[in-house]
Amino acid sequence: MAKAVLFDWFNTLAQYDPPREGLQASICRDMGIQVTEGQLAPGLLLADHLYVAENSRLPLKLRPPEDQMRVYAQMEKTVLREAGLADVSDELALTIIQKAWGSFSDQSFMLFDDVLPALGQLKQQGLVLGVISNIDRDLSPACQRLGLAPYLDVIITSSGVGSEKPNPPIFMAALQQAGAEASSAIYVGDQHGTDVLGAQRVGMEGVLLDRYDLFGQTTGCIRIRTLADLLDYV
């Protein structure tokens, strides 16, 4: 029986405020590209998966600038291809992604609509709840502002423990704070490699949150579409 449920942060509990798809749609329109927010959202998630895979192979910050630009262009072309725009040059893709990044406020987040209802029900069951994130800053102020603080018992970030997912130390630090054995803990995230496999490596139950139903072929773990679905497995 589960004693603790821990969550990834970005694309699981929170997203940028304003959402990335809105900013990208606006930038594309300014450049004469007609695309909707709904068309961009799935591709942004796939681009995140591409970034994680490339960064796991060799951290981008250690690569030469031309290789970094290649990856960033691939990411944006993934976004636009999923939106039905296949013939986009690397130059145009880089221009769009650089404009988008320049518009983001890395301090500003908003919760997905299913977060507080799900956490409220989990808390009523007496579960220990928490966050494990590779974000490089303290999340406590954001959790306080967003109304998450009353629900969370554990907030672990890579900057706080000096380890990143999918490596075991960051998961073990969270389990220690939660006072839970790995076998009695669930970890929920949107990245199969970083979140699910990382959690499974230390003996936790890894759950894949697939909000856009992009990874139906994934096996070896529970896959949910919303956090409300998680209640069926706890």
Residue ranges of domains in the chain, CATH in brackets: 4-15+108-230 (3.40.50.1000), 18-103 (1.10.150)
In the predicted model, what is the mean pLDDT of the chain? 93
The mean per-residue pLDDT over the stretch 182-192 comes to: 97
Contacting residues for 91 by C-beta, under 8 A, at least 6 apart: none
Q: Is the pLDDT of residue 142 over 80?
A: yes
Q: Which residues of 155-165 are buried (b: 16+ CB within 10 A; e: fewer)?
A: bbbbebbebbb
Residue 229 burial (C-beta neighbours within 10 Å; 0-12, 13-18, 19+): middle
pTM beyond cutoff 0.95 = no
pLDDT value at residue 78: 95
- For 39-93, write each residue's pLDDT tens digit: 999 999 999 999 988 988 898 989 999 999 999 999 999 999 999 998 889 999 9
Which residue did the predictor score with more confidence, 136 or 36?
Answer: 36
pLDDT given for residue 100 in this prediction: 86
Return the pLDDT at 76: 95
Q: Is 86 helix (H, G, I), strand (E, B) or coil?
A: coil
pLDDT at 106 over 70: no
CA torsion angle 173 179 180 186 (round to 10): -60
* Predicted local confidence at residue 86, as pLDDT: 85
What span, in angstroms and rounded, lies between the C-alpha atoms of 162 and 189? 20
Does the pLDDT at position 103 exceed 90? no
pLDDT for residue 92: 93
* DSSP letter for each residue of 210-227: -TT---TT--SSEEESSH
Helix (H) or strand (E) run with residue 144 in it: helix 140-145
